[in-house]
Structures are given as C-alpha cells and as structure tokens.
Amino acid sequence: MINIDHSILNHECISSLWKSKIHTRWFLENEVDFKNVKTVDSSAVAFLIKWVKACKQRNEDLVCYNVPQQLTQLINIYNVTNYIKIK
C-alpha cells in the first residue's frame, strides 16, 4: 500500500511527483492511503485515473483508503466512481 505523505495534492504537487517519476513505483501498487491528504484539486483525480489505468493493465482495481471529502466530491463530480474504489 502506498501512503501519500503530502497534505496537498494539487497541480503543483502532482507535477512534482510526475517529474520525480515516483509514480512509476506507486503505479505498481493497487492500494493507496490518503490519511495525510487534506487538500486536493482536479489534478488529483487525473492522477488517480492514470493510476487506475496502470492497475487495469494488471486486471486489478485501485482501492483508496481514508479519502478526504474534497477528493470524494471531485470523484463524484467527474463521474469516475466506477473506476476508483473508495473504502
């Protein structure tokens, strides 16, 4: 399971994560814990969709734990609840 240590997952943070290529290691996992995340924007949803695609290539679902309410709302707004499993 990946534990996201960032309190903010916005465009700037996601861009930094992408440039650092940490996503290549993260995308090998199919469980993620958001317990430390307090603030998100729509780029977090886009990042999760990329992660879902990586999981689907292995016939796995991406399962998210301790998802902040703001992220849950964005997942609902963008109508991707069928792709991102929230526990």
- The residue among 62, 36, 32 whose CA lies nearest residue 50 is 62
Three-state SS sequence of 25-36: HHCCCCEEECCC
Confidence of residue 23 (pLDDT cuts 50, 70, 90): confident
Interval 56-78: pLDDT, tens: 999 999 999 999 999 999 999 99
> What pLDDT is attached to residue 61?
94
Task: Say what the pTM is.
Answer: 0.91
> What pLDDT is attached to residue 22?
87
Work out how many domains the chain is built from and give that number. 1
Tell me the pLDDT of the chain averaged across its residues.
94
For strands 62-65 and 84-86, give the pairing: parallel
Give the domain extent around 76: 2-86
CATH number at residue 40: 3.30.750.24
Interval 33-43: pLDDT, tens: 999 999 999 99
